[in-house]
Every structure is written in C-alpha cells, then in structure tokens.
Chain A
Amino acid sequence: MSNSPYVIVGAGPAGVIAAETLRTNNPVTPVLMIGEEKEAPYSRMALPYLLAEDIKETGTHLRHTDGHFDTRGIEIRNDRVSAVTAAEKSVTLASGGTQAFSKLLIATGSHAIRPPIPGTDLPGVENCWTLEDARAIAAKASKGSNVVLMGAGFIGCIVLEALAARGVHLTVVEMEDRMVPRMMDQTGGAMIKSWCEAKGVTVLTSTRIEEIAANNGALKLTLGDGKSLDADLVVCAAGVKPNIAFLEGSGINTDTGVLVNDRMQTSDANVFAAGDVAQGIDFSTGANEIHAIQPTAADHGRTAAMNMIGIDTPFQGSLSMNVLNTLGLITSSFGQWDGVAGGDTAEITDNDRFRYVRLSFQDDVLVGALSLGMTQHVGVLRGLIQSKVRLGHWKERLMANPLLIMEAYLARTQGSVFGI
C-alpha cells in the first residue's frame, strides 16, 4: 500500500492521544494531525482554571514538553478539513487542495450552540467552549461586574465556579427544574442550589431567558416571568453539537454524532471516530450514545488508534460519568444513577451537612451511583460498575449503608482469603 499517513482531524484530547498511540505502536506510518484552532493542542477542560486565574494559557496545553510532537514524528497542521471523500481515501482542506490518508480518524469534537431567542448574537454574549472564548470572557468578567450564566448543566456549573472566583455578581438561569439535571436527581440538584445560594450566587431554575437586548452599552435580559436582569456579560452554556457538518456527502453514517462500532470504526472501514464527535457504545445500555467527557475522549482515542493500526482492540463501551465542584461542594455521577427497571436503589441523605449518596443496583450488581460531599475513593464506584462485581451479601449491607462502597469492593475482590 502507499505510504499515505494516518490522518487525524482535530487536535483535542482524542486526536492527540490517538496520534501518540499510533506512533508508539507503529513507528513506520507517518501521522498527520489537522486542527483548525490556531493554538498549541490544549484541553477545554482546563479553561475554567484559566478563567479562575489558577493557571496561565500554557497550563491548558495537553502536553508541556518542548518539541513533544516533533520528537515523536507527529506532524500538526493548522487547517480545517472541509470535506471527506471516503471512497478515495482523501480529505479536502479549507486552505485548498486535498490530503490522502491510509486511515482517517475523525476527532473534531463539538461546538457550542446558542438558544433560538433574540439577541444571542449581541456583543457581550459569549460561549465558554474555546480558548478564544475564555479570552473574551476574561476581558469582560471583571470584579463586581454583572454576569448572567445561561444554563446550569455540567459545563455551566464548571464555568459557574470559575466566574465566581473572578468575583463577579453572578446570576445563573436554568430552564429545567434543577441544576445539573442530567447528572443529579432532585435531591442532589436541590442541595447544589442551596449551597450556591448560600455562597452568594443567585440561582433561577425553571426560568427561561426570552430575549437579550442592548441597553446603554450593557445588556438587558427579559425572563419568562416578565422580570428582567441587567448584565455586562452573558455566558452561554446552553448545549453543544458535534462537528459533523463537513461529513455531508462523505458516505460516512452519522446520527447526532458519527456512528461507530465497538472498534471505533465508522460505516467506512478506513475511517474511525473518537471523542465528543463519536456516538460510540454506551457501557450501560449497549446503545450508541455521545459521552462528551474527557475520560471517554481518552479511551476512544487509544482504542481507535489501536484498531487503525490493525491491532484488534474491542471497546467495552464508555461509562457516563462526571465529577463537579460547585463552589467547594463536590458531586459525582456514574452510569444509570436513575435506576433500572426491576432494580433497587439505596440512599443516604444528610441535608445539613450536604452529604448524599445514592446507589442503583440490578440484582446484586451496581449499575449507577450519585455522590455529593464525598471526595475519598469515589473512583471505586466506576470500578464496581464497570467490572460488574457481584456483591452477594454485601448488597444488603450497602442497602443499609451506602457509604460502605470501598469495603464492599475490597471484600468482594480481595476478601475471599478471610471469607468476609
């Protein structure tokens, strides 16, 4: 075969981890990563810490050693891929011309979207998705300014923490009836809300922003109940959409994102997808889902690269999971925390101390979990779910006291020596 390179579209975490895995396991075939952002490969996840001024821009970079990519023989090109012709194993570049590939990885992530209301295109309305966005927010979110955060989903709540650290007057507006509705149930969502309010943030749930209008160099927001809010800056965290538009006419199957099998392979055998753009196998349901999180981007990138090389590597599916810090209150969620039909759930709640743990079981196997106010050994929730450890008599103990998760894990994986 020709020595066309492995081509990776997108230089975010999924693309970078794939490029490194390709290099480590196949030193022969060239690796070319094409990314449209004019930055060194960086991590979106680090942006809140840049906004909070914990780190400088270089602290957001995915790799910190000078010449990291050069010495590994990974070529990075700043360009945008505008089309893919899978049948001809070639991509079209926005700067003109085409690039042949032996295998292609689509790791283009997603882009932030704005809700369909008037005024979202006004100056002073910003997303918080790219490094460029973070620079724009940093320029406007000065101490004491009025900032409205539109959306209290997972990303919104991370941004909330960063904005609060800048000392702004913060109001959060969320359409749904609680904060982080896709990661927390009513109990947890309500606790996060009262925690944030106690820290001086105004939280409006079940509230819509109907319109944003210019107002003497600032902005005026009209809410669903007719009230209004003044803002110097509106930060929009109202959802994202996978970057798949350039795949139109490529012959590659897409749904919400790029559809892939358990080898991260698309409908075209030479084309793979990974990260936020890939609608990959969900560990819990086996269905194709998008899990737009860092650990999934990393797992996808590594698995896709191995399969691109031809080292058959099945993927067991990604577990939906998140960890969040809202002004010091730490929460996490894993898998099917909302429970499954015919399963059981166990809960322990301490409203005064902001503690909450909820476990969901199917038979004697943990399938989902929520935790609030817990920082030690949370990872074992992933371990229990993903390795499908049969809990046996420990299930009853966990039903009585959900805090014994670490003990249950140890007893069931190492305790056989003493029959615990």
Chain B
Amino acid sequence: MQKALLIDPEKCTSCLQCELACSFEQEGVFNPAKSRIKVFEFEHGLKAIPYTCTQCSEAWCLHACPVEAITINEATGAKEVNPNTCVGCKVCTIACPFGTINYNADSGKVIKCDLCSGDPACAKACPTDAITYVDANWTGYDRMQEMALVGHGRPAKGAAQ
C-alpha cells in the first residue's frame, strides 16, 4: 500500500518544525529556506498552510523534463529528481502548476519532495499531527488532492510514464 503526506492546515501552529526537519534531512542544515515543504502564513501567523508536492498522478514535472531526470520511485510512488541527470533547465518548475518543484541555485539543479524514501522527516517532526504519513487511498488524502487540483485540465489518463 502506498502512503502519502496528509496535511491538515487546521492543526498547524506554524512552528516550522517541518521546514527545519526537511532541510536537515535533505540538505544537512537547519535552514527553512532550504526546505521542500513550506509553511505559508496568513493573518500574521494566526493561520498557516503547510504545502509541498502531492506526488500528483498527472506528474507534469516528469512529463515536461527533456532528459528523463524525474522518475517514479516504485516503492513509494514519489516523483524523484535524479541530480546526476538533471541539467537544471527549470522547465519542470514552470510545468508543475502547484509550484512545488523549485530551482536550487547552489546546486544548479531542481529539488522537490521525495517522501524521504518512505519515511518523511516532516511528518515525524510535526508536533500537532498537521502532517501525517498515511495510506494513499485514505479519503482525506483524496480530498486534499482534489482541492489542490481544482479546475486543472486533466491530461490524458493513463498516459505514458
């Protein structure tokens, strides 16, 4: 059973533990600016929405990549960037309509959430269960993905991977 990150913004207190955990896991530094999950604050931090790649089934990033640098991890379902193949052209960053794959000027490549190979650091770090790692067919997750996809024209179903 594949699992997915379920985000419940109502539980988020914008403590930014997820951003710190992500940047440490992925980049080896505690620096929210290098996190692949981002907490967006509203009304001066009274409300917040943590946000990252939903590993969407359309995988716009993957299909737009000119050199097959983004592939699907069969075990986790995550769309992963291979930094050795990525040329840093950034086409994926404009193709993903959610803005969740981003250019990292330090490495000259792009970075995105890869579910930490199936053990996401953000979910472990979140003290309020605003981020949990759950079975992907859990209806709450479907609902979240639906919300993120509001109105997006779906491309060819079952298209090539």
| Residues of A bordering B, CB below 8 Å | 13, 17, 20-21, 23-25, 43, 45-46, 49, 54-55, 59-64, 293-295, 298-299, 302-303, 305-306, 311, 313, 316, 321-323, 325, 328, 330, 332, 334, 375-383, 386-389, 406-407, 409-411, 413-415, 417-418, 420
A323 contacts across to B, CB distance below 8 A: 89-91, 93-94
Count of B interface residues, CB-CB < 8 Å: 49
Determine how close the nearest CB of chain B comes to the CB of A155; give it in whole angstroms: 13
**A11 shortest CB reach to chain B, Å:** 14
B residues adjacent to A (C-beta < 8 A): 9-10, 38, 40, 42-43, 47, 49, 51, 60, 63-64, 66-68, 85, 87-91, 93-103, 105, 108, 144, 147-153, 155-161
Inter-subunit contact A375/B94 (CB<8 Å): no
Give the contacting residue for A62; candidates B47, B67, B144, B152; CB below 8 A: B67
Complex: A414 Cα to B103 Cα, angstroms: 25
The reply to whether B49 and A414 contact each other, CB–CB distance below 8 Å, is yes
Interchain pairs with CB closer than 8 A, number: 172
A selection of 10 A-B contacts at a CB cut-off of 8 Å is: A21-B156, A45-B66, A45-B89, A61-B68, A62-B67, A323-B91, A379-B94, A379-B100, A386-B153, A413-B150
CB-nearest residue of chain A relative to B87?
A49
Chain B residues positioned under 8 Å from A407 (CB to CB): 40, 42
Complex Cα distance, B87 from A115, in Å, reads: 31
Report whether B93 and A417 are in contact in the complex, using a CB–CB cutoff of 8 Å: no
Known contacts A294-B64, A411-B42: does B94 contact A334 (CB below 8 Å)?
yes
User: A306 to chain B: which residues have CB within 8 Å?
Assistant: 156-157, 159
Partner of A387, one of B100, B108, B151, B155: B151
Specify which of B40, B64, B67, B155 is in contact with A406 (CB 8 Å cutoff).
B40
Q: Are A375 and B67 in contact (CB under 8 A)?
A: no
**B-side contacts of A417, CB under 8 Å:** 9-10
CA A61 – CA B144 in complex, angstroms?
A: 36
CB <8 Å contact, B102 and A415? no
Name the residue of chain B whose CB is nearest to the CB of A332. Answer: B94
Query: Across the interface, do A64 and B151 meet the contact criterion of CB distance under 8 Å?
Result: no
Closest CB-CB distance, B153 to chain A, in whole Å?
A: 4
